[in-house]
Amino acid sequence: MRIGVPRALFYYMYYPFWKIFFEALGHEVILSSPTNKKILKDGLEFAVDDACLPVKVFHGHIVDLLDRVDVLFIPRIISIEPGEFICPKFLGLPDMVKSSIPDLPPIIDSNLSVYKNRKDLIGHAKSIGTDLGHSSRLILKAYTIASTKFNSYKKFQISHEQLPLDSGQKSFFDSNSSYFSRHKNKCLGENTLNVLLLGHPYNIYDNYISMNLITKLQKNGIKVITPEIIPVKNISAGAKNLKKRLFWTMGKNIIGSTYYYMDCGKALDGIIHLASFGCGPDSIVGELLERKLSRNRLVPFLRINIDEHSGEEGFNTRLEAFIDVIEGRRRN
Amino acid sequence: MECYLGIDVGSVSTNFALIDKHGKMLKKLYLRTAGRPIETIKSGLKMLKEDLKDDIEIKGVGTTGSGRKLASVIVGADVVKNEITAHAVASISEIPTVQTILEIGGQDSKIIILRDGIVVDFAMNTVCAAGTGSFLDRQAQRLGIPIELFGEIAIRSKNPTRIAGRCAVFAESDMIHKQQLGYKVEDILKGLCQALVRNYLANVAKGKEINPPVVFQGGVAANSGIKRAFEEELGMEIIVPEHFDVMGALGAALLAKKAMSQNKQKQTNFYGFEAAFKEHRAESFECNGCPNLCEIVQIYVDNKLIARWGDRCGRWSENVAV
Ligand code: SF4
Ligand code: SF4
Supply the ipTM of this predicted assembly: 0.86
Name, in order, each residue with C-beta under 8 angstroms of B288's C-beta and a sequence gap of 6 or more: none
Distance CA B195, CA B56 (A): 46
Q: What is the pLDDT of residues A166-183, one digit of tens each?
A: 544 554 544 433 333 333
Q: Please indicate, yes or no, whether residues B122 and B230 belong to a single structural domain of this protein.
A: yes
Inside any domain, residue A133: yes
Inside any domain, residue A177: no
**Closest-CA residue in chain B for A269?**
B120
Which residues of A, range 134-193, sit inside 8 Å of B by Cβ? none
The neighbour count for residue A305, using CB atoms within 10 Å, is 18
Residue B198 belongs to domain with CATH number = 3.30.420.40
- What pLDDT is attached to residue B254? 96
Distance CA B208, CA B292 (A): 38
Q: Which atom of ligand 1 is nearest to the CA of A52?
A: 8
Q: Please indicate, yes or no, whether residues B302 and B173 belong to a single structural domain of this protein.
A: no
Q: What is the pLDDT of residues A190-229, one digit of tens each?
A: 778 899 999 999 999 998 999 989 989 988 989 888 888 8
The neighbour count for residue B10, using CB atoms within 10 Å, is 22
- What pLDDT is attached to residue B140? 82
What's the one-letter identity of residue B55? D
Q: What is the pLDDT of residues A45-60, one digit of tens each?
A: 999 988 899 999 999 9
- pTM here is 0.87
- Higher-pLDDT residue of A280 and B126 is A280
Q: Output the ligand 1 site: residues, CB below 6 A.
A: A 52, 54-55, 87, 89, 200, 250, 276, 279-282
Among A159, A175, A208, give the residue marking a domain's end.
A159
Q: What is the pLDDT of residues A237-265, one digit of tens each?
A: 888 877 777 677 878 888 888 888 877 77
Q: Please indicate, yes or no, whether residues B35 and B21 belong to a single structural domain of this protein.
A: yes
Distance CA B216, CA A174 (A): 56
CB B313 within 8 A of CB B319: no
Q: Please indicate, yes or no, whether residues B112 and B235 belong to a single structural domain of this protein.
A: yes
Q: Please indicate, yes or no, whether residues A7 and A138 belong to a single structural domain of this protein.
A: yes
What's the one-letter identity of residue B141? Q
Q: What is the pLDDT of residues A12-35, one digit of tens each?
A: 888 888 899 999 999 999 999 999
Q: Which atom of ligand 1 is nearest to the CA of A282?
A: 2
Residues of B with CB under 8 A from a CB of A: 66, 81-85, 115-116, 118-122, 124, 126, 207-209, 290-294, 312
Residue A316 belongs to domain with CATH number = 3.40.50
Among B190, B211, B240, give the residue marking a domain's end.
B240
Inside any domain, residue A83: yes
Distance CA A167, CA A124 (A): 27
Kindly identify the ligand whose nearest atom is closest to the C-alpha of A88.
1
Q: Please indicate, yes or no, whether residues B115 and B225 belong to a single structural domain of this protein.
A: yes
Q: What is the CA radius of gyration of chain B?
A: 21
Residue A132 belongs to domain with CATH number = 3.40.50.11890
Write out the DSSP string of A83-147.
Answer: T-B--THHHHHHHHHHHHSSSPPPEE--EEE-SS-GGGHHHHHHHHHHHTT--HHHHHHHHHHHH
3-state secondary structure (DSSP) of residue A330: helix
Kindly identify the ligand whose nearest atom is closest to the C-alpha of B315.
2
3-state secondary structure (DSSP) of residue A285: helix
pLDDT at A64 over 60: yes
pLDDT at A157 over 70: yes
Q: How many domains, in total, are found in chain B?
A: 3
Inside any domain, residue A180: no
Which residues of A, range 31-50, sit inside 8 Å of B by Cβ? 33, 36-39
Name, in order, each residue with C-beta under 8 angstroms of B136's C-beta and a sequence gap of 6 or more: B147, B150, B192, B196, B220, B223, B226
Q: Please indicate, yes or no, whether residues A307 and A198 belong to a single structural domain of this protein.
A: yes
CB A10 within 8 A of CB A164: no
Q: Are strands B2-9 and B280-286 parallel, antiparallel or unpaired?
A: unpaired
CB B209 within 8 A of CB B185: no
Distance CA A218, CA B304 (A): 33
Domain region containing B146? 96-240
Which one, of B44, B14, B62, B80, lies nearest residue B309 by Cα? B80
Q: What angle do CA A141, A145, A149 make, to 5 degrees?
A: 165
What is the helix (H) or strand (E) element at residue A295, kind and residue range?
A: helix A280-296
Q: How many domains, in total, are found in chain A?
A: 2
The neighbour count for residue B264, using CB atoms within 10 Å, is 6
Binned at pLDDT 50, 70 and 90, residue A86 comes out as: confident
Q: What is the pLDDT of residues A98-156, one digit of tens each?
A: 999 998 999 999 888 888 888 888 899 999 999 999 999 999 999 999 999 888 888 87
Of the residues A38, A39, A294, A331, the best mutation for testing chain B's interface (the one with the most B CB atoms within 10 Å of its CB) is A294
Bridge partners, residue B109, by sequence: B104, B125
Bridge partners, residue A112, by sequence: A77
Which chain A residues contact residue B310 at CB under 8 A?
A: none
CB spacing of A317 vs B82 below 8 angstroms: yes
Among A39, A291, A321, select the one facing B122 at the smallest CB separation.
A321
Q: Please indicate, yes or no, whether residues A6 and A154 belong to a single structural domain of this protein.
A: yes
Q: What is the CA(A198)–ligand 2 centre distance, in A?
A: 28
- Phi and psi, residue B15, nearest 5°: -120, 150
Q: How many CB pairs under 8 A join A and B?
A: 69
Domain region containing A77? 2-159
In this prediction, the residues of chain B whose per-residue pLDDT falls under 70 are 126-131, 165-169, 321-322
Which chain B residues contact residue A329 at CB under 8 A?
A: 118, 120
Kindly identify the ligand whose nearest atom is closest to the C-alpha of A38.
2
Q: Please indicate, yes or no, whether residues A287 and A198 belong to a single structural domain of this protein.
A: yes
Q: Please indicate, yes or no, whether residues A6 and A141 belong to a single structural domain of this protein.
A: yes
Give, for ligand 1, the residue of A55, A57, A283 to mutate: max count of ligand atoms closer than 8 Å to Cβ. Answer: A55
Q: Please indicate, yes or no, whether residues A33 and A142 belong to a single structural domain of this protein.
A: yes
Name, in order, each residue with C-beta under 8 angstroms of B175's C-beta and a sequence gap of 6 or more: B139, B142, B163, B188, B191, B192
Distance CA A251, CA A92 (A): 19
